[in-house]
Chain A
């Protein structure tokens, strides 16, 4: 694995971007562009875009997998030609390191230029990953520049970076979408290979600051204590809402096998619709106003 954070987390004028979507109906309110950052410091079993977990080390193993001539090597670096790419995904399957040859280093200006023809259509920009906070310096810069270009930002995060230490980012962002993977520490560690101490601190902090747009939990039976996670997350959202006057939504996501790595795919269970309804009812019973199942 490539070292994450470190040099990349200071002030930066470019970041490593996995993908840019010009339009999305599922990444926040209204129509939003989405910038996916490359690199994540968690390693969740149910990750459905595992190609965004690690940085590409330019080993070149994926190059022969491309049938469309979209990949090549130049002076030890893998090169991707979007004009030839058919988006077939073969290179992602071929990469043994949960990375992608299509990730690119881009400046905030380059990203905003790419999106500028579409501004009239957008309510804002959502930043996702990977994990955006792994490139904290660049994240803060992009959020600020996008907002001043008329694209207010929502940041989708696993909550591993302590947001209370980044007040400028929190002020510049419209809000955050926070993943609550499991309430129990040991279960969280087993699922994501990382602690949730800071995640839960962030949940309280962002909710109380009125900056939590949405909390989300992926539901797969048997992976963690789902009832406890939903109940506790709901209570934290509610407590925050009392302090800030703004209540976040809580989204319960069905585990879906698409994109999940073969090693995990078949071990994870799909929730039945009744379970999803029961969990939503649980959250509503705690007092949440907007609970969404998708």
Chain B
């Protein structure tokens, strides 16, 4: 059957999901990128993977609009004035979301929501009841119309009335979308707000905790005034984003090397160079040929700027690559194995930092490293630098062993921990763990309780009840439910060690 016909006849896809699938098939019917045979070989064998990004990049993979500017100015293209109350504010945002492109066709970043909405709820601008109703309806609309859990909202680091209302409403609604991060800084985030966030996470698997003390100065140093967490846990410049994300599958690459030395000294430089060349070509087409930056009203109105777009150099399967050369000693358990893992990442980091993309100004053309969480078809490949599920050390040892890898990945790395349901009685426990983790240098961590309906798959959230729907051959509202189901089956993500 022609793939397009298979999509049309698929009973488990909603109408919208079919439109997106058909668009992908249409895009892939042309091949405008110039790809040299060596790179094509690595793409064919899966050592390099473009994560279903398509053959002809016509929009950046991740777009991170400057919603603050939109709230201040409104939009000429959309015919919107600056909002004056909480109803106009939430309505304007919902309108703009419809027009933010991304790989998923849905916005992967919907704003630092607490900051955006605070002016309309603080100081008695709206009654508690009115503010809660507006924010609840806003979040409900997002969950029911942005049917993809790579949609990400940010909160913090400061506590706000809007932030509390968002957490309360999220807890009440128990929805998978949006994904939420709390930008956490122990000096700026008061404990009671952080504990509310922790309690919410133990109920509905969000928010996750982003280490603001690492992110903020790091993005400043790269020349960006602000950063956002988008999609799974991707740190990106605000008012810009990432043109592309391509990943290196280190687990697969390990099969091509004879020894540790051969892997590190010969193979790694070779495949990193190939991936860089492939990324350059994707960026070149997007920036120079697609016309995106010339035609988008987001660019014209200053909500995004070409100079704030970078691109993400991703990788997966470090654990498996290390274990392939460690004679039974295991990544995450043995110091020698971990040191080899660090040597690999150090090397990749140096090679990537030495490369300048000619078409990008952001960060002087240097790409950002990203520990990719995997795709649903991966089997036996651990996300980024994570310790494999089923082989996880005790909670604190796990964090201590993972932390040294986090500093290299400006555009995202994170660990996910499942907690016993009894931890709900003591959310301060989770906050203590978060505080300790961040002191150790962890960039990002997520938690959920092992009996929650909403669970974190690798970076995104899915409802178990939606996975069950798919198992029965029914359609699910969110396209990510299918990814979640495949990851549950292929990667055993629900078998994470439960921390008591």
Which residues from A are CB-within-8-Å of B422? 25-26, 294
Query: A22 to B396, alpha carbons, bound, how many Å?
Result: 8
A122 and B426 form a contact (CB under 8 A):
no
Q: Which residue of chain A is the closest to B438 with respect to CB atoms?
A: A120
Q: Nearest CB to that of B440 among chain A residues?
A: A120
Chain A residues with Cβ under 8 A from B426's Cβ? 25-26, 29-30
Task: Evaluate contact between A292 and B425: CB separation under 8 angstroms.
Answer: yes
Interface flags for A7-44 (1: CB within 8 Å of B; 0: not) read: 00000000000000011111001111000000000000
Chain B residues touching A, majority SS? helix
Within 8 A of B (CB), among A271-294: 292, 294
A123: which of B394, B428, B440, B500 is its contact (CB, 8 Å)? B428
Comparing B5-13, B305-313, B429-437, the segment that makes contact with chain A is B429-437
Is B489 located at the chain interface by the 8 A CB criterion? no
Q: Which of chain A's residues 202-247 have a Cβ closer than 8 Å to chain B?
A: none
Please tell me if A117 contacts chain B, counting CB pairs below 8 Å: yes
In the bound complex, how far is the Cα of B453 from the Cα of A81, in angstroms? 40
Q: Using an 8 Å CB-CB cutoff, how does the interface string of B413-451 with A read, 1 for contact, 0 for none?
A: 000000110110110111111011101100000000000
When C-beta atoms are compared, the residue in chain A nearest to B395 turns out to be A23
* Interface: A118 (CB within 8 A): yes
Contacting residues, chain A, for B435 (C-beta < 8 A) = 120-121
B428 near A29 with CB under 8 A, answer: yes
Closest to A121 in B: B436
B439 engages A120 (CB within 8 Å): yes
Bound-complex Cα distance A26 to B422 (A): 7
A42 CA to B79 CA in the complex, in Å?
77
B438: shortest Cβ distance to chain A, in Å? Answer: 9
A36-72 with Cβ < 8 A to chain B: none
A30 and B429 form a contact (CB under 8 A) = yes
In the bound complex, residues from chain B placing their C-beta under 8 Å from that of A22 are: 394-397
The interface residues of chain A lying within 8 Å CB-to-CB of B399 are 121
* B499 contacts chain A at the CB level, 8 A cutoff: yes
Partner of B436, one of A26, A122, A292, A294: A122
> Measured between alpha carbons, how far is A22 from B394 in the docked complex, in Å?
9
B431–A30 contact, CB under 8 A?
A: yes
Residues 117-132 of chain A, each 1 if its beta carbon lies under 8 Å from chain B, else 0: 1101111000000000
Mask of A85-128 contacts with B, CB within 8 angstroms, 1/0: 00000000000000000000000000000000110111100000
Binding site for A on B (CB under 8 A): 394-397, 399-400, 419-420, 422-423, 425-426, 428-433, 435-437, 439-440, 499-500
Task: List residues of A whose CB falls within 8 A of some B CB.
Answer: 22-26, 29-32, 117-118, 120-123, 292, 294
Not counting A26-B426, A31-B432, a sample of 14 additional A-B residue pairs whose C-beta atoms are within 8 angstroms of each other reads A22-B394, A23-B433, A25-B426, A25-B430, A25-B500, A26-B422, A26-B425, A26-B500, A30-B426, A30-B428, A117-B400, A120-B436, A120-B440, A121-B437
